[in-house]
Amino acid sequence: MNKKKNQRYLLGYDTAAGEDRGTQRPPNSSPGSEHPSTPQQLTIQAGFSYEELAVATNFFSDADFLGEGGFGCVYKGILRNGQEVAVKQLKPDSRQGDHEFQAEVQIISRLHHKHLVSLKGCCISGAKRLLVFEYVPNNTLEFHLHGRGQPPMDWPTRLRIALGSAKGLTYLHEDCQPKIIHRDIKAANILLDHNFEAKVADFGLAKFFLDTKTHISTRVIGTFGYLAPEYASTGRLTDKSDVFSFGVLLLELITGRPPIFLIRSIEESLVDWARPLLTQALNDGEYDAFVDPRLRKKYAHNEMGRMVACAAVCVRHSARRRPRMSQIVRALEGLVSIEDLSEGATPGHSTLSSYGQHYMDMRRPKNTLTSHYNADSEYSATTTSEYDMYSSGTASEGREKGSST
């Protein structure tokens, strides 16, 4: 089996989160948090032996290989009780990887929501570190939306994925104590079940965010095309950084285009390309100029209007003028008007420079690699990874700003 070929769209398992466990919803919880839970101490659902996981994955065979990320390989496994799981084996020679493992376990053991991938347990055996997640069988949003030869996703499916992803992110921001900033929201980190219900995955870059702080200053890590401009240029991280990334995700669902693509051999940011079209569409109510042509105009006009409006306000330059994720959930459900969501401002506009300028001005790492969009999508782009050539969408690291937690 060719690992490079088969790992492309399976890297949502590179790190992951929790699921709905049926806990009670607090009276003041937001619409995205159907069954939140905020335990105060670290708990692990189950401990697995290394031998048990080796047997489950046929001794980590190529036939069960799902993908490879910066810190380890992921394999499909079948436990002794017949349950399918995804097993992530951390690379033993990665110093960052050990820190990454601890961060993942600390974060994902606290998360319980049906739109987050669940942690089943972990294994610590000598120098070996493994995480065991629920197996989500239907690949990633990136695969279904951008993979060459994939049938077009219909409109109801796109809306369902947007709403599920928004609910999962709302839970992280508004119902976890302290709140959690994902830092790498992208199509490759949205896993799908057979009903195309979305599950947010990959929490290896996530950060806790105390309500007493206005922002976190940290090194810039994320994926080109999804980074909020203020985070990309200064390292100042807030929950509104995730909101911007989610806006890019909505633009992908609307247009069918990846976050960075080529136009006449020139890299183009999806945000900058779509911004004037969004403004015009919200003024005249006509969406066909930028909606994915593969939809063949088969979409509910009012639902498209709501998603377009949500995308526009999420990718505003000014972080403070972006909405909360709970507002996005209500808007996608039709419970908030477009006018209320926009708060009187022209969606997508502010006095700051364009997102594309921030993107192009960022100092990229030395290892610049060709993105999978070249080989597997009708669009093409280049991207850069701070990890390795197998990262999906790839993460970038900018200047160091120091960190606080």
Residuewise pLDDT in 10s, the chain (405 residues): 455 434 333 334 543 333 333 333 333 445 554 444 333 333 444 689 999 999 999 999 999 998 886 667 899 999 999 999 999 888 776 555 566 666 667 777 778 899 998 888 889 888 888 989 889 999 999 999 999 999 999 999 999 999 999 999 999 999 987 788 888 899 999 999 999 999 998 875 556 555 544 445 556 677 889 998 988 888 888 899 999 999 999 999 999 999 999 888 888 999 999 999 999 999 999 999 999 999 999 999 999 999 999 999 999 999 999 999 999 999 999 998 877 887 645 544 443 344 444 444 443 443 332 333 333 343 433 332 222 222 333 333 333 333 333
Cα torsion 146, 147, 148, 151: sign: negative
> What single string gives the DSSP state of each residue in 174-195?
HTSSSEEE-S--SGGGEEE-TT
Taking residue 298's Cβ as centre, other Cβ atoms within 10 Å add up to 10
pLDDT recorded at residue 95: 55
E strands in 126-284: 128-134, 179-181, 190-192, 198-200, 207-209, 216-217, 221-223, 236-237, 260-263, 266-269
**Which amino acid does the sequence have at 1?**
M
> What single string gives the DSSP state of each residue in 53-99?
HHHHTTTT-GGGEEEE-SSEEEEEEE-TTS-EEEEEEE-TT-HHHHH
- Domains recognised in the chain with CATH numbers: 3-134 (3.30.200.20), 141-397 (1.10.510.10)
Cβ atoms of 72 and 79 within 8 Å: the answer is no
217 CB-contact burial (10 Å; exposed 0-12 / middle 13-18 / buried 19+): middle
- Coil/strand/helix, residue 39: coil
Taking residue 35's Cβ as centre, other Cβ atoms within 10 Å add up to 17
Cβ atoms of 271 and 356 within 8 Å: the answer is yes
pTM of the full structure: 0.74
> Which residues form the catalytic set?
184
pLDDT recorded at residue 205: 56
Cβ atoms of 180 and 241 within 8 Å: the answer is no
In whole angstroms, how far apart are CA 367 and each of 61, 209, 258, 364, 386? 29, 31, 21, 8, 8
Q: Residue 16's closest CA among 215, 210, 172, 157?
A: 172
pLDDT recorded at residue 70: 63
Q: Residue 237's closest CA among 248, 246, 225, 229?
A: 229
CA distance 42 to 63: 34
CA distance 171 to 154: 27
Q: Binding residue per annotation — 366?
A: no
Residue 301's φ and ψ, nearest 5 degrees, are -60, -45
